[in-house]
Structure 1
Amino acid sequence: MQAIPCVLMRGGTSRGPVFLANHLPSDPAQRDELLIRIMGSGHELEIDGIGGGSAQTSKVAIVSTSPHPDADVDYLFVQVLVNQRRVDTAPNCGNMLCAIGPFAIEHGLVNAKSPVTRVRIRNLNTHTFVDSEVMTPKGKVRYDGATCIDGVPGSAAPIKLTFLNAAGAKTGSLLPTGNVRDVFDGVSATCIDMAMPMVVVHAHELGKTGYESPTELDADLAFMARLEKIRLQAGLAMGLGDVSNMVIPKPVLLSAARNGGSLNTRYFMPHNCHRSLAATGAIGLASACAVPGSVAHEIFPVDGPALIRLEHAGGQIEVSLEPAEDQRPETMRASLVRTARRLFTGDVYVPSISR
């Protein structure tokens, strides 16, 4: 049995092990196979690994010091599929991103300051930069606090994430098709790449209210098949090629808010509906409100600084938008507050030969 040091952490509404890069194989194929065995991928319960049997709990973060002058640490996100023995390193994960700052400080990759430490993170999946502000009174990471986020019970210390250059994270363009609106399978959609490539549609165009539960949406197989058809067409139009084996772009249903928020959302991962909302998805959807003519702008138009409250199946998430001097949507900065918690530290054991 091979023992590999790791820290199991909750980041936002996600959970997974966090590794130092030098504890894993440098060869990507060997690394990915090892992570598949660590998580127990290929079984719906991930019973022979430490994955949680859900896309939200089958995530891995890999951290190292960064050679880039504008970053302290590099972060690679790995989405380990549950039912398939496969991984995807195309997207970033903003929820697991919440765990990177505390992990980096506690492992000596960044020197702590009091009362707050800024950790400059470069995401290797998307080559974007994010500032993470971690509470560190007396130079120690603080996890307990009064901040609550929907989708997670209890409260914890706040972690503020500011996305610095999120536009065109994977495609090189905020609007990768060159259009504010496209039509796929007879449905009007906005394809946007801001922290996360997404194809955004009005829920009613697919015969939904947008207020259905994730379980109800997942159970509607005809709807899910049509949503996948739209996603595949959008992937081609966005320059991503055949996305049938990729988890991007993410399909999103939008509708009017009904609980005091700005927008109501149903975000797909992409083959099941998220029980809340991805942090990167929240950044992109809030930013879409500032793009005239977009599906999001039609529901909740934004011009200038704004606080966007995005309703989801588990509650709400808030995103602050701050336009740059040129007032272009591509250069705006978006930030949000999440929480994280260290769950355990130890070694994960992996059979040296897969069974």
Structure 2
Amino acid sequence: MKKLSFPIRIPLYYVRGGTSTGIVLLQKHLPEKKELKEEIIRHIMGVPLEGKNENNKQLQGLGRETTTSNKAFIIDIDYQAKKVISTFAQLEKESSTVSWEVNCGNMTSSIPLVIRDLPEEKLLMPDGKLSIYNTNTNKNIVCTMPNVSPKYQLAHIPGVVGDFPEINVSFADPACSKTKALFPTGNLIDKVNGIPVTCIDVAVPMIIINAESLGISGYENPNEIKNNQVLQEKIMQIRVEMGIKMGIRQKNGTVMNEKDLAESITQPKVAIVAPPLSKGDITIRYLTPKNVHLSVAVSGGCCLAAACCFPGTVASHLYYANRVNGHSTVRIEHLSGISKFSITHDGDYIKYASAQRNAQILMKGEFFIYNPSDELEEIMRVVSITSSRMV
């Protein structure tokens, strides 16, 4: 017989940031234990609680079957430093895997809207700027909104229909997010089975490959890339071999091995690049790292734009971004349009990597968990009492 229990209620914001959707949770409403946080996020997004289910439709949660819609942020507030502490979790619809390895720039753009809905807005965003420290990468981010509160200045981005609140996202000192160097192999170009690649780490570790060297045009649709088994095998070999050479670290600091890299749902990312077809500077098909992104991630776009700033990379062979007054701008063509990225740099030092996004709070409220584990049910009684006292 099934046990009976009262549902656990988890306060959350259901949001869209850039071209991603997911949830934002406040740490004060959650248990400290990582495994219990993961259980909560699995329930909310509707992914398997354990193991795999290839046919999962996420009917029992808020996820939308795509990688870009299975994202979660947990945020806390450092009142003394007047900044937000953000921790990002990536899920996938068919498995219970929760990855804490990388950050998400698109979803980061939703955090200022959440803060503007909280009493802490005046403390954290008096001038429209929000400082965020991301624990996945141990890096700082500045999100800026036009200072017209309580109104919003609206903006349009490719891949999103309509105009929504404008947020400008800038990664501070973004190199070495998960490795020890801007070009972590020590080379601008490496070769795998004769295929030239550039490995770079700006906001996220990424491998850049010219489409031509893979035997494709670079203008393929997602299904053409997904269903090309020979191409997928080439990319997997490159990911694993170069991932080892990059020395990519997991969140706990250990270096990823071959098995870790093959199974990872977050890193390293892959950018397949080609010459532009329209008014952009370079074309991308962005893998995250196994599925094709329908536009381009903020972190991945910043990474590719940075690679265009250094002569001798796979990217700069297609487009070299001249530096004007300390800034280089790269317009990246993708499946949804053209997105512009800005790199502020001096020599090998990158001060900021930036992009304009827009975001929405789709809904806020409580998610009901009807079948929690015994441990989660017990600990959440205490968390609920404690968080209610903090309100």
Which structure 2 residues correspond to residues 46-85 of structure 1 after superposition, within 5 A?
Answer: 46-66=58-78, 69=81, 72-85=83-96
Q: Could you tell me which residue of structure 2 aligns to residue 232 of structure 1? A: 240
Normalised by the length of structure 1, the TM-score is 0.93
Aligned residues with identical type, % of pairs: 30
Q: Could you tell me which residue of structure 1 aligns to residue 133 of structure 2? A: 122
Q: Separation in 2 of the partners of 1:201 and 1:113?
A: 41
Consecutive unaligned residues of structure 1, counting only runs of 5 or more, are none
- The count of aligned residue pairs is 348
Which structure 2 residues correspond to residues 135-174 of structure 1 after superposition, within 5 A?
Answer: 135-137=146-148, 139-140=149-150, 142=152, 145=154, 147-174=155-182
Q: Is residue 213 of structure 1 aligned with residue 221 of structure 2?
A: yes
Return the offset for 1:351: 2.6
Q: Could you tell me which residue of structure 1 aligns to residue 331 of structure 2? A: 309
Structure 1 segments (4+ residues) deviating >3 Å: 112-116
- Secondary structure at the aligned position of 2:101 is classed as coil
Q: Tell me if the contact between 1:185 and 1:229 (Cα under 8 Å) persists in the aligned partners.
A: no
Distance 1:114 1:87, change over 3 A: closer
Return the offset for 1:84: 0.9
Return the offset for 1:54: 0.7
Q: Separation in 1 of the partners of 2:124 and 2:22?
A: 27
- Secondary structure at the aligned position of 2:366 is classed as strand
| Alignment counterpart, residue 252 of structure 1, candidates 271, 277, 293 | 271
Return the offset for 1:328: 2.0
Distance 1:188 1:113, change over 3 A: closer
Q: Separation in 2 of the partners of 1:308 and 1:159?
A: 19
Deviations for 1:102-143, whole angstroms, at most 9, x for unmatched residues? 112222333179995100111111011111112452x3262x
Q: Tell me if the contact between 2:343 and 2:350 (Cα under 8 Å) persists in the aligned partners.
A: no
Which amino acid is the alignment partner of residue 296 of structure 2?
L
Return the offset for 1:329: 3.2
Q: Which moved more, 1:112-121 or 1:176-185?
A: 112-121
Return the offset for 1:157: 2.6
Which structure 2 residues correspond to residues 1-355 of structure 1 after superposition, within 5 A?
Answer: 1-42=7-48, 43=53, 44-66=56-78, 69=81, 72-111=83-122, 117-137=128-148, 139-140=149-150, 142=152, 145=154, 147-240=155-248, 241-242=256-257, 243-246=261-264, 247-304=266-323, 305-323=327-345, 327-353=346-372
Q: Tell me if the contact between 1:189 and 1:199 (Cα under 8 Å) persists in the aligned partners.
A: yes
Pick the structure with greater CA Rg: 2
Q: Tell me if the contact between 1:66 and 1:122 (Cα under 8 Å) persists in the aligned partners.
A: no
Deviations for 1:260-314, whole angstroms, at most 9, x for unmatched residues? 1111000001111001100000111101111221111111112312221000111
Q: Separation in 2 of the partners of 1:334 and 1:271?
A: 24
- Secondary structure at the aligned position of 2:262 is classed as coil
Consecutive unaligned residues of structure 2, counting only runs of 5 or more, are 1-6, 249-255, 374-391
Q: Tell me if the contact between 1:128 and 1:165 (Cα under 8 Å) persists in the aligned partners.
A: yes
Q: Tell me if the contact between 2:65 and 2:92 (Cα under 8 Å) persists in the aligned partners.
A: no
Normalised by the length of structure 2, the TM-score is 0.85
Q: Tell me if the contact between 1:191 and 1:198 (Cα under 8 Å) persists in the aligned partners.
A: yes
